[in-house]
Structure 1
């Protein structure tokens, strides 16, 4: 048997070669020893036996626990990874509505009502500890989500052991509980060892990297952008970093010509690249010019073309030019990626050249190499360092990636609807 659980609630299960591979929910570092539970005769009380558990008046048994290799991560982390897999709240809503259309529901709740119920349930009262073994989700839903609520009578269930609520997928259940404060730190565990040890699937299939169709190729203007964004993911979003690959436009450039990012975008579109791709231009004069040109191209559905985000902090930025020192808006003129780092108490941009294409000056932040180097030397988050600029970049990047995955997931759901 193989199980995906939340605390002690069983979300999905399989047997032998019949199971869904959930490895994308976890990082390689989430592979640890976790508890596995087995039923034993009630008179067989070994050293690892847990107290007697009774399921009915005619059948009882003891739980035996063994520690084996498996995955475990907090619900909050798994829920974030699900977004990059396309399982967003909007996708959950569409899944829910599809089930209603085919007459599956065993209740008459709307999606918003169900989400509110799940977000406000007192999960702590359910005694979520892996040591108690597993329970069916339907039992938890009836006893701890609905019990005592005015809407309890609107749930038609012949048994609290029902495996599901309206056929919801385990990923949708995770997303519905993601905003529940009492659930966010619960462990999501994947107990695959028995299937691997039994030879039903190769062990490497359970610790494989995120599949190519779920990864994102990030293309930037240069080496500095690649290094900084990659390092920012490692420090600020380590739970998502393994979803991303990078292309350095100044090395290993795959197309002939001038080597600029605009030509690269045209090339990617012409060969209809199958990877999910996010193109990131700098927020300076040259970058914005090429970003504007690129957005007029007929981009692919699996592609997003963006520039580094504008920031209010850049609207009154200290600058130096031929006419002296002034406060100026550097958005779209001089905001290369180093400006999004902590540049100290008195950062300054020096205007360097006039850009005729956009009728504005191009600028560079002074000391950009040292600013970048200081950040890249960090082994962990440093107290007092201003990460807000990097956070704005990662928020934009992750949002664009989620939109790519969401569209693909919705398209797959629509194809399934038409086939069904």
Structure 2
């Protein structure tokens, strides 16, 4: 019979494989998501050793005893997996393109639009998809027909009521698209997405280590900044606020000293990366101060490849009225583009102050630095967990910008692959 492998949502099967024929879904999970998960097996209905077990009868009147075993597998809430899918390029826009591409195939004609399907899946009650040992698992198509379409009604969005179409598997939708379309459904967000790979590994169809493999380099992002303090803050911020996404990001190795300190050197580094046609996904982040903006502007004029994004730290409303000290005394001014280094995005307290230092003749502006810069860094880096009294809003704005740029890279790559497949078809 062979060994089976399943990707499930609660007790709903989203994808399955057999022996060596399966999709590796390890990128959906973090190493810490490895745990004990339920596996379901069928035994003969009349097996005298199994009479104490639940009896399951299928729609075609086939009955069997349900065996449940806890074995090694991956499990994470749908909300977490859906967020990881964005960084893998499986965005809502990509889901729409996939749906439309499938609709062009004669064997995958849809009876509803993408917007209708999105509405159905985001509002349907998926609470019945929770683990139910007396039921085992069921295919997503079966759940869709039994629990989603009936709510829409015969005159509603879903019109696929023909029993003969139960084998359509919702006309080719991938499990990743199903997960993304359920991301906004409150009844599905905390359901476990589970990858049950133990049987395939134990059967020798794939090395056990292949299920522990880290994200491929092609799915990771190299973040390059102006200095080591930027790297330390961004890395710690990801681990603290976005732990479910942190393994997607690499930073320049600083063990032997940060090699690209200073914006001028970073500009030359970008030019070098472009010239060698670097294949890694890269996001270069400049500070939002005078020197950083100058080098960001000239770097943005370079012919960067699609897998590279060049950004600066975002402007913030709160920076428009910041206390400053300089040659002309104390003033309240806008530090966006002149003095907003990464420390300004931390919790700076009730009365932060920028001290103007050197004058930049190229931009005819002063360069500024926040007073107590080192203390702000140390206070943040010392945090072991999220502090409810700490203001993370500035850092969250940076991380939101960073992840959005990374998502744009992988979405573009995913759409290019889909377009090529449509052309070949």
TM-score normalised according to structure 2 size: 0.94
Equivalent pair of 1:45/1:62 in contact (CA under 8 Å): no
The 8 Å contact of residues 142 and 160 in structure 1, kept in 2 or not, is answered as no
Distance in 2 (CA, whole Å) between partners of 1:153 and 1:183 is 19
3-state DSSP of counterpart to 2:414: helix
* Deviation of 1:104 (Å): 3.5
The one-character-per-residue Cα deviations of 1:177-222 (angstroms, maximum 9, x if unpaired) are 1111111000000000000001100011101111111000000000
1:71 to 71, 74, 83: 74
Distance 1:120 1:164 in 2: 20
Residues in 2 aligned to 1:23 and 1:57: alpha-carbon distance in whole angstroms: 34
1:35-84 per-position Cα deviation (integer Å, ceiling 9, x unaligned): 11100112336579641110146420011011110000000000000000
Q: Which residue pairs with 1:386 in the alignment?
A: 391
Identify the residue that residue 117 of structure 2 maps to in structure 1.
Answer: 114
Comparing 106-115 with 172-181, greater Cα deviation is found at 106-115
Shift of 1:361: 0.9
Partner of 1:243: 248
Q: Secondary structure at the match of 1:154?
A: coil
Q: Which residue of 1 aligns with 2:366?
A: 361
> Match of 1:28?
31
Matched, 1:98 2:101: yes
| Residues 160/140 of structure 1: CA separation in 2 closer, same or farther (3 Å cut) | farther
Counterpart check, 1:298 vs 2:300 = no
Q: Classify the secondary structure of the residue corresponding to 1:73.
A: strand
Q: State yes or no: 1:193 paired with 2:198.
A: yes
Residue matched to 1:175: 180
1:213 and 2:218 are equivalent in the alignment: yes
**Bigger Cα displacement from structure 2, 109-118 vs 245-254:** 245-254
**Contact in 2 for aligned 1:286/1:362 (Cα 8 Å):** yes
Provide the C-alpha distance between the structure 2 equivalents of 1:390 and 1:6, rounded to a whole number of angstroms.
Answer: 33
Structure 1: how far apart are the matches of 2:303 and 2:60?
Answer: 67
CA distance 1:384–1:252, shift in 2 (3 Å): closer
Match of 1:143 in 2: 146
1:343 is paired with a residue of what secondary structure? coil
SS at the partner of 2:379?
helix
User: In the alignment, what sits opposite 1:129?
Assistant: 131
State whether residues 283 and 336 of structure 1, in contact with CA within 8 Å, keep that contact through their aligned partners in structure 2: yes
Identify the residue that residue 18 of structure 2 maps to in structure 1.
Answer: 15
Deviation at 1:10, TM superposition (A): 0.5
Pair 178,49 (structure 1): closer, same or farther in 2 beyond 3 Å:
farther
Cα distance, 1:57–1:191 mapped onto 2, change above 3 Å = closer
Deviation, 1:130, is 4.9
Q: How many residues matched?
A: 418
Q: CA deviation at 1:360?
A: 1.0
Instruction: Please name the residue that 1:377 is paired with.
Output: 382
Alignment of 1:89 onto 2:95: no
> Does the 8 Å contact 2:227/2:258 carry over to 1?
no
Coordinate RMSD, CA, aligned: 2.0
Q: TM-score, normalised by structure 1?
A: 0.95
Aligned mate of 2:64, from 42, 61, 64? 61
Q: 2:259 aligns with which of 253, 258, 262?
A: 253
Output the CA distance in 1 between the equivalents of 2:158 and 2:420.
35
> Which stretch shifts more, 259-268 or 290-299?
259-268
What is the DSSP-based 3-state SS (H/G/I as helix, E as strand, rest coil) of the residue aligned with 1:81?
Answer: helix
Q: Which residue of 2 aligns with 1:269?
A: 274
Deviation, structure 1 residue 155: 1.0
Match in the other structure for 2:54? 51
* 8 Å contact from structure 1 (residues 63, 133) kept in 2: yes
Alpha-carbon shift at residue 146 of structure 1 (Å): 0.9
Partner of 1:347: 352
**For residues 82 and 258 of structure 1, what CA distance do their matches in structure 2 show?**
33
Where does 1:148-159 land on structure 2 (aligned, <5 Å)?
148-149=151-152, 150-151=155-156, 154-155=159-160, 157-159=162-164
Change (3 A) 1:288 1:243: same
- CA distance in 2: counterparts of 1:373 and 1:61, whole angstroms: 61
Change (3 A) 1:409 1:398: same
Distance in structure 1 (CA, Å) of the matches to 2:272 and 2:52? 63
For structure 1, the residue ranges without an aligned partner over 5 or more in a row are none
